Every structure is written in structure tokens, then in C-alpha cells.
Structure 1
Amino acid sequence: MVLTMRHVRTAVVVLAVAAVLSTSGCLLPPPARTPAPQPPTSGTPVQPPTQSPQPSGEPQIDVVPVEPDEPITTADETDADTGELYAGEAGRTRDGFLPDAAFDMVLEPTRGTPVLAPGIALPTSDAGDELFAGEPHTADANLLLTTVGRLMLETEESEYTCSGTVINSASGLIVLTAAHCVWDDDTRDYYDRITFSPGYEDGEAPFGTWEAEDLWVPDQYLEANTRWLDGADDDGWMGFDFGLIRFAPQGGQTLEDAAGGQGVSFTAETNGVVIAGYPGNDDFDAEVLRYCADDVLNYGAGGDANYGADCVMGDGASGSGWVSNLDPDSGAGTITAVYSNGGESGAYGPPLGVTAWNGLQALDR
């Protein structure tokens, strides 16, 4: 399987089928941090708390748990690589790869109300159109404008960019992104240093730049990605290419205090998506927020357990949230997947389910 390069050099953009690293000068040493906790090994959901966790600030997370032993409905295998995916269906690829198991849990955004209706709220776009360019970055602005930000990933030799979104959480410090924006393929370890600037635009960070203090990626991603790196096969890693980062508070303030938090759905349902992030290849420069929007998604693209959308943003857009049920006025919605990779044929993103939920519980403390 041929993939595009999954993130962008900020010093010199190098586009190739595989990522080629080069020296980018002296970087500040990374901050000390504790090892990331490992997710539960069982596919059984972690029992949700009996009361909704309380994030910093006014809003309360509304959770809708079900009993862990309640069966999850899956669709039959498809004969083709892709097939239309409608709300409520959980698909299976032709090669038998299953996605992260759907889990009946929804975290509401910190402000605004998602619109639970089929379709998308913004004009259909597959070309990475600018979103909110030049609009004021105030604390009560559209949630897409305040919660989506640019991630800077550093090693001893290089710097890259990805995208991420602040999500509503108990700690108020969690950003959702792609696993490959957290885990460095070359060192087979976490990136040395990761910073996040929500609302980033043209060199400005209106809500500050935040330092990562703990990280999480799924075991399923690490196992499948290791097989791919070792040349054994290239199957399965995209189906779990999501990760979580906890950032250190600043002056007693959390990320949610500063920027708000987007909602998350772990139900594998979608009513169309808006994909918002910071692409940096070809005509883009990773300096302004851009988006794609698609009302009908494909499933099982490339044999992996992914959603597929008509979206050409590419490098740097990795980690962008796929926001469903978007209210265009408030920006409130629910992230149902994240941008893993893509190219001229479209964008691919793994749906979020019980593994993502368990990872959030492990990291959000």
C-alpha cells in the first residue's frame, strides 16, 4: 500500500512516499515526563464512572453509558474495498480487519449544542478551503476556531507539524490527534517534545502554546505499525491511528479554560463530517486553519478499518478531528474519527470506539 508522507517538515518540506529525515539545527532539550500509561489489554470497555467527570470551568460532561456486556452490532463483510457507510452502521473490511469496537458513549462539547441531523453544516469541500481566516480569536468564538490547533513535534534532529483538537475531558488538558503524531517511526518511541497552539494562525498563538506532559497510543497501533516498519505487512495500523496527549496547565489554567473543548462520539456513527486542521503540502503552508466537508463516507479504504472522505489536504492535516453533527454557529459537534493519511484519492481516518475511550480514561487523571 502506497501512502503519502504523514506529517510536514516545518524547516524544509520534503514530499515523498516515505518520510526522509534530515538535520534541522539545535533544539531545546525535551521536558521530563512520566511514561505513558498502557491501555487495558481486554476489548471489554472500562466501566464508566457512576457520575459524569467534572472538567475545569462551567460545563459538565454528559455521558450515556451502556452495560459493557451489551452486544455491539456489526455489518456483514463487504465484497469491495469501499462501500457507503451510513449513520449507525459499523463496518468490516474485505480483509476482515475490524475497527475500534463501537461503544455507546458521547462526550458533549463545552459550549453549544451539536445538531443531530443527517448532512453537513458547511459547504461541501474537498480542497482544504480556509476556515475563519482573519476572524477574531476570542474565548467565546466558534469552537472549531478555538479548539483546533497546530502540533509541533520535535526530535533531536527534526521538527514536524500535525493537527489536533482540544476535547472535553475531566482534566481539561487533553488533545486528540493521530497516533503517528505522537509516536516516531524512526526511533520507535514517543517524540522528544510536543507543543500545541490552539487557534494558531500565521505565526500567532492566541490561546498560548502548551507543553505535552503525557502521551498515549493504542497497543493495536504499535503492534501493526511495527509489522509494517519491519516489512511484514502493511495492514491494520490505520484502523487504530489515533492518539491522546495531556498538556501541562499554565498558571493554574487548563487548555479547556483557554480554548474550550469539542465533543467526542465513541459510537462509530456519523452524519457526515467536517475535517479541520493545518495541511502544509503543495499549495498549503500549515499556517492557517483549513477544512474539508463530506456528507457520505466510504468504509474500508485500502483494506484497513477506516472511514474515507473526499478530502485532499495531506501532510500536516494528520490528527485533524472528523467532526459530525456540527452546529455551524457555535462550532459544537462530536468528533467521530481522526485524519490518519490521504492523498489525491481522498482522506482516511479511523473511527473512535472503546479503545479510544479506555485510553482517555487512562490518560485523563
Structure 2
Amino acid sequence: MTDHPHPRAPRPQDDLAPLQRLGRGARLAGGLAFAAALSLGGAGMAAADPGDDLGTTTFSQSDQEGATEYWTAERMESAIPADTLIEGEQAPDGQVESSETVQVPRVDPLAATQTQSGEADWSFEADPSAAASGTDHIGKVFFTVGGNDYVCSGNAVASQNGSTVSTAGHCTSESGQWASNWVFAPAYDQGETPYGLWSATELYAPEQWVGQEDMNYDIAFAVVAPESGSTSLTDAVGGSGIEFNTERGALYTSFGYPAAAPFDGETLEQCQDYGSDDTLGGTDDQAIDCDMTGGSSGGPWFVGDGADGMQISVNSFGYTAQPNVMYGPYLGDVAQDVYAEAAAA
């Protein structure tokens, strides 16, 4: 294992501090039940070859069509921030393998022309008016697990296939089982989905998450397809640049759709702070001051002020003993490998 270039503070000698759900004054960024055995319809057991860093699952065309049909406005509105199901879990200490910094540059959206019928013709031309600092690439993630409907957040990232979404690992799989009805709603606002719903064709997460639920690896990527047409996600909304093995302790801006009180999940919210190490539980995650609640899980962290910097993490968890503090996983070599598989799918 390569030593991390920035040492962490010593881990306290007492027991690991328990994670907690995101709530006013005590927050966890949405999660899945860690205990129950699940039956997930079209989604199967997490699959990974021995020694591989990742687990992955594929959804059939009928699964994808069923997912977009499933998420009516009423179901989206009533989806539960899944944070309550992780309450009391513990975050294992650990150091993420890290080597050289790798950056994937952002991509800007393209402009669709309008047909006589009023439908979008996804034959794109470069749109110089596309705002590089816009947030249309950030959206809500909806999924079903254990017979319940849940909500997280996600972000479109630059990729070879043009249709890759980042989110938290716990927004994709639980106890070796994958979620079903997984869709991404970019630019969600007040119940409106201006770019429609994008259903997952594949889900990817580190085997350290899928097999062990290690909070150091609470990151996942989805490859998605539009509910109609053949455009790519980043052509429609753009895609953030993403960075692995990044310098620690910079100024970060975090985005998400917190749905637990005092928020309602209907609008995009943000936090900003300088990253600091986990001195409570000993994970390799970074922490920022942030009051976002359940539903914000999987929302992106960007370097700098705003949404146009490199993405370097996602909203993941918090500790009961640290109110209003959000942790995000350090994206090291394993996360880079998982991203590379998803981006090329």
C-alpha cells in the first residue's frame, strides 16, 4: 500500500464513534440498511472477479424502461432519505491507496435544436452560452431497496461514454445486493425534471464497499441512458471534471438535495469549507462544516468556490459526536479504477 502523502491525526483510543443519520444537529448523508437481506427484482448480486477492485451489475432494457415508468411525480416526492437505516453503524479506520494525481477535464453541454413538432432534436452544436459554472449536471438519484423508495444526490462527470454519474456507494448497493429502479434526474428543482429521467444501464462500486461496506470507499458510478432519444448525458447537461489522488485540505464546495428537516429536498443546496482529516473515527475521509441532511448523499464536492472546479469527493456520512460536519471519501487509486471501468462502458 502506498503511503498517503498527508499524515492523519492519531486515532482516538476509545471505540469508533458511531455514524448517525442526517438530522438537525446530527447528520449522516443518507444510507441503506446494512442488515436486511433483500430481494431486488431485476438487480442481481454484486459481481466481481477475484482480486478485482470493483463490483458491477447490469440492467436490461426492460429494467431501464420500468425504472423511468416507476418514478412518477408522487413517488419522487415521497421517496425517503435513506439515512435512518444506517444509524448506529461504525466507520472503520483505514488508509486509502494513493499514487499520482490524475485529472479528467470537464466537458460543457451542447445545444439541441428545436424541431417543428416542438421536440428536441439531439443533433448538437457547441453552445458558447453554456455556463461553465452552472449546476444542471447535478441532480437527484432515486432508487428502490428492500421494497422502499429512497433518494440521494448525484453528478454527471466527464467520461468516454458521456453518460457517467457519480454518487455514494450506499446509494447503489447494500449487503452485496444492488438497488433497483435506479434513475438520475439532472437539474431537479421543485418537482421539475427538465432533462427527464436517466435510468442506469450499469452500476459500479469498489469491492471494498460492495463486499465490506467500508466507508473509506463509499463512492459509486452509474452509466445511464435517457428515457427517450440517444443523446449522451454530458451533451445534455455537461460533465464535471474529476480528480483522483488530490491534494488534501483545500477549499471545497459541496452540493446536494437534503430532504430531511429543516430541508425539503426540492432545491439544490451547498456548503463550503476547507477540508480537514478525520480525527474521530480514523477514516481517510475529509470533513467539512456542513448542515445538509439526508438526501444529500452522493452530492459532489468541488475544489474551490462553486461547481466549476474538479470533483474530488461526494457527501458520505457524519458522526453523532460532530454535529454539522460532513465527511467525504478520499478518491484514491481504487476509486480511479472503478471510474475508469464505468467511464469506458
Q: Contact 2:272–2:290 (CA<8 Å) still a contact in 1?
A: yes
- After TM superposition, the structure 1 = structure 2 runs for residues 3-152 of structure 1, keeping only pairs within 5 Å, are 3-5=19-21, 38=48, 41=51, 97-111=94-108, 140-141=130-131, 143-152=133-142
After superposition, residues 249-264 of structure 1 pair within 5 angstroms as: 249=226, 250-264=228-242
The CA distance in 2 between the partners of 1:20 and 1:267, in whole Å, is 28
Shift of 1:16: 11
Q: Call closer, same or farther: CA 1:301–1:308 in 2, change over 3 Å.
A: farther
Q: CA deviation at 1:288?
A: 0.4
> Separation in 2 of the partners of 1:298 and 1:102?
18
The letter of the residue matching 2:169 is A
**Normalized against structure 2, the TM-score is what?**
0.67
Q: Matches of 1:16 and 1:202 in 2, distance apart?
A: 20
Secondary structure of 1:303's partner? coil
- Describe the superposition over 1:321-343 as per-residue Cα deviations: whole angstroms up to 9, x where unpaired: 111034x4xx4211111111126
Alignment of 1:201-216 (within 5 A): 201-216=189-204
**Partner SS for 1:5:** coil
Q: Specify whether residues 351 and 317 from structure 1 end up closer, same or farther in structure 2 by C-alpha distance, changes over 3 A only.
A: same
- Measured at CA, do residues 259 and 194 of structure 1 come closer, stay the same or move farther in structure 2, by a change above 3 Å? same
Structure 2 residue runs without a partner (length 5+):
1-16, 24-28, 54-91, 110-127
State the distance in 2 between where 1:42 and 1:209 align: 31
Q: Match for residue 169 of structure 1?
A: 159
Cα distance in 2 for partners of 1:97, 1:293 equals 25
Distance 2:44 2:187 in 1: 28
RMSD: 3.3
- Show the counterpart of 1:243: 220
Alignment partner of 1:312 out of 288, 291, 294: 291
Q: How far off its partner does 1:296 sit?
A: 4.1
- The alpha carbon displacement at 1:184 in A equals 3.0
Per-residue displacement from partner, 1:186-245 (whole Å, max 9, x unpaired)? xx40001111111100000112211111001111123332xxxxxxxxxxx111000111
Residue 36 to residue 357, structure 1, CA distance change in 2 (3 Å): farther
Gaps of 5+ in 1: 8-14, 22-28, 44-94, 113-137, 226-236
Aligned equivalent of 2:70: none
CA contact under 8 A between 2:22 and 2:30: conserved in structure 1?
A: no
Deviations 1:151-201 (A, max 9, x none): 00113621110011100000011001100000134xx40001111111100
Structure with more strand by fraction: 2
TM-score normalized with structure 1 length: 0.63
Task: Output the CA distance in 1 between the equivalents of 2:34 and 2:22.
Answer: 11
Aligned residues: 259
- CA 1:239–1:39 in structure 2 vs 1: closer, same or farther (change >3 Å)? farther
